[in-house]
């Protein structure tokens, strides 16, 4: 192993250890045993704070129906609300929750449907990936294969599945996706 690289790695490890030694005792006393957690703390752990500036669009009936279809497919797959939030944010970025067919010259390769999945990339046939339940199930199958997706930033989880040219773009839809899931999950 290269000496400079080894020394760099040992320095990083030393800093991490020192940080843990210093912060560990402080963190251990940060929340006394007799303290009761607040509702805000419970919300913080259930859904991470959205990253960056947030976008919002008004939805029409078709888009709302697609939100409900994504939620239904997520429930059918036995996945939690967080999976629906990631799915809806991804669809907001990819298609604005519109089930897009072939767009001619404006099409990005052969991308179709809510998630702009490509038949040539193995997502399914054009008929399958323009079916909201199928396309959501396909997206969720990819999401399940991402180790730790439940705890990672939404944009990282979505990007790992989608492999977009704009990997950070999903983050802007997290708040609206969270609100839509809160509104429609139990309806």
d(CA 110, CA 143): 21
Q: Which two tokens stand for residue 10?
A: 């040992």
Of 10-24, 57-71, 105-119, minimum mean pLDDT range: 10-24
Alpha helices by DSSP H, 47-148: 61-76, 81-95, 126-129, 132-144
More confident residue, 29 or 153: 153
Tens-place pLDDT, residues 128-137? 999 999 999 9
Q: Which two tokens stand for residue 12?
A: 């990083």
pLDDT at 187: 86
Tens-place pLDDT, residues 121-130? 899 999 999 9
Q: Which two tokens stand for residue 19?
A: 């940080």
pTM comes to 0.72
Minimal CA–CA distance to 168: which of 155, 158, 157?
Answer: 155
């Amino acid at each position: 192993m290269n000496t400079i690289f080894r020394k760099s790695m040992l320095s990083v490890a030393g800093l991490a250890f020192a940080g843990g030694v210093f912060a560990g005792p402080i963190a251990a006393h940060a929340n006394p045993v007799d303290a009761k957690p607040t509702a805000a703390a419970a919300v913080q752990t259930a859904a991470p704070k959205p990253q960056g500036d947030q976008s919002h669009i008004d939805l029409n009936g078709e888009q709302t129906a697609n939100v409900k279809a994504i939620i239904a497919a997520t429930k059918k797959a036995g996945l939690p609300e967080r999976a629906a939030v990631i799915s809806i944010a991804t669809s907001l970025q990819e298609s604005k929750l519109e089930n897009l067919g072939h767009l001619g010259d404006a099409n990005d390769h052969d991308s179709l449907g809510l998630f702009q999945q490509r038949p040539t990339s193995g997502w399914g046939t054009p008929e399958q990936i323009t079916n909201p339940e199928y396309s959501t199930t396909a997206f969720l199958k990819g999401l399940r294969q991402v180790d730790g997706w439940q705890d990672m930033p939404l944009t990282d989880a979505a990007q790992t599945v989608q492999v977009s040219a704009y990997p950070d773009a999903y983050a802007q839809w997290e708040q609206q996706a969270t609100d839509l899931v809160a509104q429609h999950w139990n309806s």
